[in-house]
Amino acid sequence: MNRNPLGDLGQGLGDYLREQRQAARLSVRQLSELAGVSNPYLSQIERGLKKPSAEILNQLAKGLQVSAESLYVKAGLLDQQDADAPAGPDTRSVIKADVRLTSRQKSTLLDIYDSFVGHPAAAPAEQPTKPAPIRKTTTTTTADPAPAAGTN
């Protein structure tokens, strides 16, 4: 008979919390103090016997210095897809809509942004703008002519 009333759901979260706590080199007592939860309650969560609320998970995340979303996913309160979705407005749209930027500045910012987060699954109609070519300026230096033999 399964002694864990929450089944695998509670155990997955508990194992994850224990791994994170141990990685942070915290005892159960230390984490319970940091998170403001009782020592026995934290122990029960780690053993999969209790399912914490979102508020408790948030407190534990702060104590462990991990994202609350990762704990929400492990607890089954949030789907992984929801956790991966960008929060707030679309960065590319905000850059494109900023009237203070020139077309070249927008293009450069979008190129830099894409280099960090990857290329978007943009609509095929969107054509990337080519940056203006960089003009090379060449300077020629002339060496001082050697004095002719016999002239001073």
Q: Is the pLDDT of residue 148 over 80?
A: no
- What pLDDT score was predicted for residue 133? 57
- If pLDDT is split at 50, 70 and 90, which confidence band does 7 have? very low
Q: What CATH architecture applies to the domain 7-84?
A: Orthogonal Bundle (1.10)
More confident residue, 17 or 146: 17
Mean pLDDT of 16-26: 91
CB 110 within 8 A of CB 92: yes
pLDDT confidence bin for 43, thresholds 50/70/90: very high
Tokens representing 73 are 């996913």
Q: Sketch the domain layout of the chain as residue ranges.
A: 7-84, 86-120
**Residue with tokens 């994202």, as numbered in its chain:** 67
Q: Summarize pLDDT for 68-91 with one digit per residue, the tens.
A: 888 888 888 877 665 555 556 778
Output the pTM of the full model: 0.49
Q: Are 100 and 68 in contact (CB under 8 A)?
A: no
Question: What is the per-residue pLDDT for 91?
Answer: 84
What is the rounded CA–CA span in Å between residue 49 and residue 10? 7
CB atoms within 10 A of CB 61: 19
CA-wise closest residue to 66 among 17, 136, 127, 2: 17
Of residues 93, 67, 92, 95, the one with CA closest to residue 82: 67
Q: What pLDDT does residue 103 have?
A: 92
